[in-house]
Structure 1
Amino acid sequence: MDNGTHYRTCHLCEAMCGVAIEVKDGHIASIKGDDNDPLSKGHICPKAVALQDLHEDPERLRQPMRKTASGWQKIGWDEAFDLVARRLHQTRKEYGRNSIGVYLGNPNVHNHGSLVATMPFLRAIGSQNRFSATSNDQLPHMLASLEMFGHQILFPIPDIDNTDLFICIGANPMASNGSLMTVPDVRGRLKALKQRGGKLVVIDPRRTETAKLADEFHFIRPGNDALLLMAMVNTLFEENLVDPGPAERLVKDLELLQLAAVPYTPEAVSGHTGIEAETIRDLARQLASTRKAALYSRMGTSTQAFGGLATWLAYCLNILTGKLDTVGGVLFTQPAIDLVALGAMSGQNGHFDKRRSRVRDLPEFAGEYPASTMADEILTPGDGQIRAFVTVAGNPVLSSPNGRRLEQAFEKLDFMVSVDYYLNETTRHADVILPPTAALERSHYDLIFSMFAVRNYAKYSEALFEPREDAKHDWQILLELAHRLEQQRKGGRLPLRSELGWRAFKQIGPDPILDLLLRSGPYGADTGPARKLLQPAVDLVMDILPERHPLRGLARLSPVNRQWNALPKGLSLSALRDNPHGVDLGPLQPSLPDRLFTRDGLIHLAPRRYLRDLGRLHKHLVSEPDDQLCLIGRRHVRSNNSWMHNSRRLVKGKDRCTLMLHPDDAERLGLAGGESAEVQGAGEAIVLPVEITPDIMPGVASMPHGWGHDRQGTGLSVASAHAGASINDVLEDNQIDQLSGTSVLNGQSVTVRVWRSGKQRHSA
């Protein structure tokens, strides 16, 4: 790589911050924010400097590794591919296609090459036993988008730059940099909100980093967000504050939602939530009376026992108060590569509960079963038992509930392969590890998170460094495995046409596909004189073909569609190369009804599966409030799940893997700050230091996720030296949101006691 400054997008979280990386003599000299990036405008968080640490980490694997009786050994790529394809094929041939399990970690969605190659790889595997981080994270949002708007990744995004009231519930964007809301420099944007006379309201069991900036903050008992939100819905109807605004003619089943909300008065839910009835009414009134307002919810509302209902109700509140599809409210994006419209065009809007898992009868979502049932499917004998497993850029031992049981399951497998460049707590169980190139050795375009950005935006980055001659990108690994699996299934030889197709796919890679999608999208290449000829043809196709006809979908996305006349044009891969800082495509704009993908073209305000689940919520409402100590997770701006902990500069400083307790709980339990506490859930017990703070609600304990690097046999010396403890060793994998199948990561009951070499003194 040439000396000088190179511009990229940081891929370590959803914020898509622009970075300026200075290279001298083939090495990174500095990493700074890119002042000319139109989305982030020079902002970066502390994680950005870890791009260098990840790239230069001497413990990052660079060659395939095979586990032997005497330890790990390096092998060549051909030998590794042959071994993996042969073993996976043998397993499928002997035990059936569902005998192979696959887990995809969330780094895959930051990687356009991996996204392009994943589908052919999964087709070649052929198994229904697929899992991902989705069911430990954003599944309730995807389900609500599918049920209400007709597409699983059509998310309403807060127009934070224009809103005057931002209500944040169960989210901490100051630490996460936004989530399902790509928003670099949250602090700066919230500061601007206040400068224009706006207001920030935060509702959370912990006074988070975001809450400390709030004008108004309220503690809420974990797992009760659905009750709070339903009481706000109740207030809107009772006080005649319902006004869907521009979306009114599109809203379906308003009366059903009104009827469903009747039992959930603010007085009825106050005891469970810990929020006064009049405060609940005031929250509803503020949302209704502020013209430019947005209610935003995330992990705290998603990953709990009523995560599906809570997320649905957050969407409902924005709709009922006229905030959907309005400037300053919540809006749908119009990205340069519109995966929502492309998916709908091919009938891939998403689906839910088309089949059920073998052991626990849990619903699939988008072809995946809940991650919480992975161990069940491996350990339970019978037809369809998983006997071989593939992980791609994931560490479920630390990121899924009951990690100890999951690692026991991995040890029972006949064969396991991991596509990963670390020997971590999960990949140590593999028989073969196939390490891909590091992020700075490949090109980058954010296919997914550009769809969630608070402004429409596109940016492409060339590879910063040339990979080693024998290195493979992750898309090359996945396509090669898929190709060889197809060959194995066909007896060692594919038909000539199929063989040539595979070879061509592997040759061109993801970037030409990216270029085609950019050119043919709404902001695509301006056809100049040809527009006069093409536009009538597009008009004709739009007029005469049925709504769901593929040609009509292509015509709709075409840059010569009259609908996109006001949008900037000329976008292509070469155009983005000429604009290394990125291209601002404009603010979010109202887009209904064109952006809806439901069959009837309406917003489904009260989908029946949510109404049915209200029976479970009502049982909770009429029960006595639980006084057990419950556990919630938390996020830190210097951490991202488990895979950033081998960076010295990110883990240095005081211990962040602590158990936060309110002073009243600490006194009752006889615990002092810094003292070790034993935390016992339905899973096993863990030990970690206590941090006493009034910033946590009484009756609640909090610890961060992604730690627990004390497992033997990993190759992460820095992480092991800052091991911490894994919250997922405490959490049980049989606790899920019964509506969506999402893991309950917030709100499980725990016992906390002083740790005195195993002696118990007090417990709760």
Structure 2
Amino acid sequence: MFPTPAAGGPTTRGAKGSGKGFQIGRGYSRVRKFPEALGEYPVSVLAEEIATPGEGQIKAMITAGGNPVLSTPNTLALEDAMKSLEFMISVDIYLNETTRYADVILPPPSHLERSHFDLVFTGFSIRNVANYSEPVFERDPSQPDEWEIFLKIAGIAQGMGAGVDPAVVDDFTLDAFIGSIMKDSSSPTNGLTAEQVREQLDATGARGADRMLDLMLRTGPYGDGFGENANGISLQHMKQHPHGIDFGPLEPRLPEMLRTVSGKVELAPPALLADLPRLEQSMHEVDDEQLVLVGRRHLRSNNSWMHNIEVLVKGKPRCTLQIHPNDAARVGVKEGEQARITSRVGHVDAVVEYTFDIRERVVSLPHGWGHDMSGTQMNVAAQRAGVNSNVLTDHNEMDPLSGNSVMNGIPVTVSALV
């Protein structure tokens, strides 16, 4: 049983039941040659790609609502590397541990000043639903919308100059998307030409992200197909249903949703089978004297930006080292006191919290804390700084197939502070 997202996606477009499959290694990182996966390179190599001279060295960076100085492995190495960047832009509402290195910070409008449609989680939902939320408050005319900020940056990066009109880049992007949809025989467009599709989209008055969403909805599995399906949806249709639309329960979608070369669920691809000997060997490389560190996320403090909102962080401290009482007795640490957690690449000190909810030989620190760095303006977060668990994660520990960072299962030692 799988969802069928209203705005479409990889499992609704293109030929049913077959495709290129999951591919990695279409490119490799410059320094350590780790493979690309899904168009991305491992974040663990970012520091070395900035710091290592040579052709292809990263000298400028754009961040968008992220805080890699707190959220990437061996963050101290990345922090040092970022100091050497020649230019950096951050699209963010905070001056945080990462954006303090930016030459320019471009704040987007409030979440309540822009529209919203979930494109990600409708692909994982337990029922086929869709909801479009219009802005609650009118945006100040002097404040560019988020899509305008990104398109202006894109236009400048493409050599169109600092005075580029985001609307021009918006039209160019939309036309390219329309072109790709017109090539897909599975996309309903009622026999219209690309120009006619564009005319109908423009007639709604929508621009930017909303106009793109309208195209996705109208050519999606429940869409009106620009007149092909009289009962289908569009952005205007979604606006007429402010509480959302229920398209019904999940349904069996195999094999039509598959995009593998074989047209089957490939449980044992050759790359995984070839890696099994290495995996088996690694399972024996365990130091019985060490503990294993795993992360955790609390409902009200999932990510670092949430720590700067008083109503979310109030209450008892959450940035604690959770440890089983038996392990605490063995290593000599006591509840409520500070303990030092040490890995191959660094150490942090955190308050000990006993819990029987964690198995023996495993300890846990939460994600996204460590708000005690200078140069930030996150006053609420600074009052409950906590410690950055990613000081302990090892940038050299990565899955060799995908290059994905090892963020859990970090070998550590725990000791009492003298």
TM-score (norm 1): 0.48
Give the structure 2 partner of residue 175 of structure 1: none
Letter aligned with residue 420 of structure 1: D
Mapped partners of 1:453, 1:716: distance in 2: 34
Mapped partners of 1:353, 1:499: distance in 2: 31
Give the structure 1 partner of residue 2 of structure 2: 332
Partner SS for 2:76: helix
Kindly indicate whether the alpha-carbon contact (under 8 Å) linking 1:679 and 1:753 is maintained by their aligned counterparts in 2: yes
Give the structure 2 partner of residue 432 of structure 1: 104
Gap regions ≥5 residues in structure 2: 176-201
Q: Are 2:142 and 1:470 aligned?
A: yes
Q: Are 2:235 and 1:573 aligned?
A: yes
Letter aligned with residue 746 of structure 1: N
Mapped partners of 1:586, 1:499: distance in 2: 37
Q: Are 2:58 and 1:359 aligned?
A: no
Kindly indicate whether the alpha-carbon contact (under 8 Å) linking 2:70 and 2:388 is maintained by their aligned counterparts in 1: yes
Give the structure 1 partner of residue 64 of structure 2: 392
Kindly indicate whether the alpha-carbon contact (under 8 Å) linking 2:20 and 2:259 is maintained by their aligned counterparts in 1: no
Mapped partners of 1:500, 1:622: distance in 2: 54
Give the structure 2 partner of residue 523 of structure 1: 222
Letter aligned with residue 67 of structure 2: N
Mapped partners of 1:642, 1:493: distance in 2: 34
Match of 2:365 among 677, 688, 703: 703
Give the structure 1 partner of residue 119 of structure 2: 447
Kindly indicate whether the alpha-carbon contact (under 8 Å) linking 1:658 and 1:689 is maintained by their aligned counterparts in 2: yes
Q: Are 2:89 and 1:423 aligned?
A: no
Kindly indicate whether the alpha-carbon contact (under 8 Å) linking 2:290 and 2:411 is maintained by their aligned counterparts in 1: yes
TM-score (norm 2): 0.86
Mapped partners of 1:621, 1:716: distance in 2: 42
How do 1:60-99 residues align onto structure 2 when only pairs under 5 Å count?
none
Q: Are 2:261 and 1:591 aligned?
A: no
Change (3 A) 1:632 1:739: same
Q: Per-residue deviation at 1:737?
A: 1.5
Match of 2:269 among 580, 583, 607: 607
Mapped partners of 1:336, 1:448: distance in 2: 11
Counting aligned pairs with the same residue, the percent is 47
Give the structure 1 partner of residue 307 of structure 2: 645
Q: Are 2:402 and 1:730 aligned?
A: no
Partner SS for 1:412: coil
Give the structure 2 partner of residue 683 of structure 1: 345
Q: Per-residue deviation at 1:486?
A: 2.5
Letter aligned with residue 473 of structure 1: D
Mapped partners of 2:20, 2:207: distance in 1: 25
Mapped partners of 2:47, 2:164: distance in 1: 35
Change (3 A) 1:648 1:738: same
How do 1:485-634 residues align onto structure 2 when only pairs under 5 Å count?
485-488=157-160, 501-502=171-172, 508-525=207-224, 569-621=231-283, 626-634=288-296
Change (3 A) 1:464 1:349: farther
Kindly indicate whether the alpha-carbon contact (under 8 Å) linking 1:662 and 1:692 is maintained by their aligned counterparts in 2: yes
Q: Per-residue deviation at 1:493?
A: 9.2
Give the structure 2 partner of residue 22 of structure 1: none
Deviations 1:199-235 (A, max 9, x none): xxxxxxxxxxxxxxxxxxxxxxxxxxxxxxxxxxxxx
Deviations 1:517-549 (A, max 9, x none): 21222212288xx86xxxxxxxxxxxxxxxxxx
Q: How many residues align?
A: 385
Deviations 1:139-167 (A, max 9, x none): xxxxxxxxxxxxxxxxxxxxxxxxxxxxx
Change (3 A) 1:343 1:720: farther
Kindly indicate whether the alpha-carbon contact (under 8 Å) linking 1:483 and 1:502 is maintained by their aligned counterparts in 2: no
Mapped partners of 2:3, 2:368: distance in 1: 31
Change (3 A) 1:341 1:411: same
Deviations 1:438-487 (A, max 9, x none): 21110000011111101011110100111223212221111111123333
Kindly indicate whether the alpha-carbon contact (under 8 Å) linking 1:487 and 1:493 is maintained by their aligned counterparts in 2: no
Q: Per-residue deviation at 1:640?
A: 1.8
Letter aligned with residue 595 of structure 1: M
Match of 2:80 among 393, 404, 408: 408
Deviations 1:71-123 (A, max 9, x none): xxxxxxxxxxxxxxxxxxxxxxxxxxxxxxxxxxxxxxxxxxxxxxxxxxxxx
Structure 1, 476-485 or 645-654: larger mean CA deviation: 476-485
Partner SS for 1:487: coil
How do 1:121-270 residues align onto structure 2 when only pairs under 5 Å count?
none
Kindly indicate whether the alpha-carbon contact (under 8 Å) linking 2:155 and 2:164 is maintained by their aligned counterparts in 1: no
Kindly indicate whether the alpha-carbon contact (under 8 Å) linking 1:627 and 1:699 is maintained by their aligned counterparts in 2: no
Letter aligned with residue 7 of structure 2: I
Gap regions ≥5 residues in structure 1: 1-330, 532-558, 561-568, 757-764
Q: Per-residue deviation at 1:684?
A: 2.2
Change (3 A) 1:445 1:588: same
Letter aligned with residue 390 of structure 1: I
RCO higher in structure (CA 8 A, sep ≥6) = 2
Kindly indicate whether the alpha-carbon contact (under 8 Å) linking 2:152 and 2:169 is maintained by their aligned counterparts in 1: no
Kindly indicate whether the alpha-carbon contact (under 8 Å) linking 1:450 and 1:456 is maintained by their aligned counterparts in 2: yes
Mapped partners of 1:755, 1:668: distance in 2: 15
Q: Are 2:366 and 1:712 aligned?
A: no
Change (3 A) 1:350 1:465: farther
Q: Relative to total residues, which structure has the larger helix share, 1 or 2?
A: 1
Mapped partners of 1:603, 1:744: distance in 2: 26
Partner SS for 2:62: strand
Mapped partners of 2:99, 2:361: distance in 1: 37
Give the structure 1 partner of residue 186 of structure 2: none
Mapped partners of 1:612, 1:583: distance in 2: 46
How do 1:38-77 residues align onto structure 2 when only pairs under 5 Å count?
none
Change (3 A) 1:653 1:687: same
Letter aligned with residue 306 of structure 2: M
Kindly indicate whether the alpha-carbon contact (under 8 Å) linking 2:322 and 2:352 is maintained by their aligned counterparts in 1: yes
Change (3 A) 1:437 1:350: farther
Mapped partners of 1:737, 1:503: distance in 2: 35
Kindly indicate whether the alpha-carbon contact (under 8 Å) linking 2:21 and 2:260 is maintained by their aligned counterparts in 1: no
Give the structure 2 partner of residue 123 of structure 1: none
Partner SS for 2:394: coil
Mapped partners of 1:649, 1:577: distance in 2: 31
Partner SS for 1:586: strand
Partner SS for 2:63: strand
